Amino acid sequence: MKRSKTSKGWMMEHVNDPWVQKAKADGLRSRAAYKLLEINEKDRLLKPGMVVVDLGAAPGSWCQVAARRVQPGGLLLALDLLPIEPLPGVTFLQGDFREDDVLAEFEKLLDGRRVDLVLSDMAPNISGVSTSDDGRMMHLAELALDFSTNHLRPGGSMLIKLFQGAGYMEYRQAMQKQFGVVHARKPQASRDRSAEVYLLGLDHRPLSR
Q: What is the pLDDT along the chain (209 residues), one digit of tens a residue?
A: 344 444 444 344 545 678 899 889 888 889 999 999 999 999 999 999 999 999 999 999 999 999 999 999 999 999 999 999 999 999 999 999 989 999 999 999 999 999 999 999 988 666 665 666 777 889 999 999 999 999 999 999 999 999 888 899 999 999 999 999 999 999 988 876 678 999 999 999 987 65
129 part of a folded domain: yes
Per the annotation, the verdict on 161 as an active-site residue is yes
Name the DSSP class of 208: P
Single out the residue of 86, 150, 158, 91 nearest to residue 120, CA to CA: 158
- Asked if residue 10 is part of any domain, the answer here is no
Q: Which residues pair with 114 in a beta bridge?
A: none
**Full domain range(s) for residue 147:** 30-204
Domain count, the chain: 1
- At 5 the pLDDT is 47
Task: Establish if 17 belongs to a structural domain.
Answer: no
DSSP state of 99: S
Q: What is the pLDDT of residue 11?
A: 43
Whether residue 20 lies inside any domain: the answer is no
Task: State residue 35's pLDDT score.
Answer: 95
- Known binding residues for S-adenosyl-L-methionine are 60, 62, 80, 96, 121
What's the confidence (pLDDT) of residue 18? 86
9 in any annotated domain: no
**What residues contact residue 38 under an 8 Å CB cut-off, 6+ apart?**
187, 188, 189
* DSSP 8-state symbol, 113: P
CB 106 within 8 A of CB 141: no
Q: What's residue 19's pLDDT?
A: 80
5, 47, 108, 161: which one is catalytic? 161
Burial class (CB in 10 A: 0-12, 13-18, 19+), 67: buried
Residue 3 lies in a domain: no
Q: What pLDDT does residue 3 have? A: 43
92 falls within a domain: yes
Binding residues: 60, 62, 80, 96, 121
Neighbour-count burial for 169-185, b at 16+ CB within 10 Å, e otherwise = eebeebbeebbeebeeb
Give me the CATH number covering residue 61: 3.40.50.150
Task: Give domain status of residue 108, yes or no.
Answer: yes
What letter does residue 3 receive in the DSSP assignment?
Answer: P
Residue from 17, 196, 24 nearest 122 by CA? 196
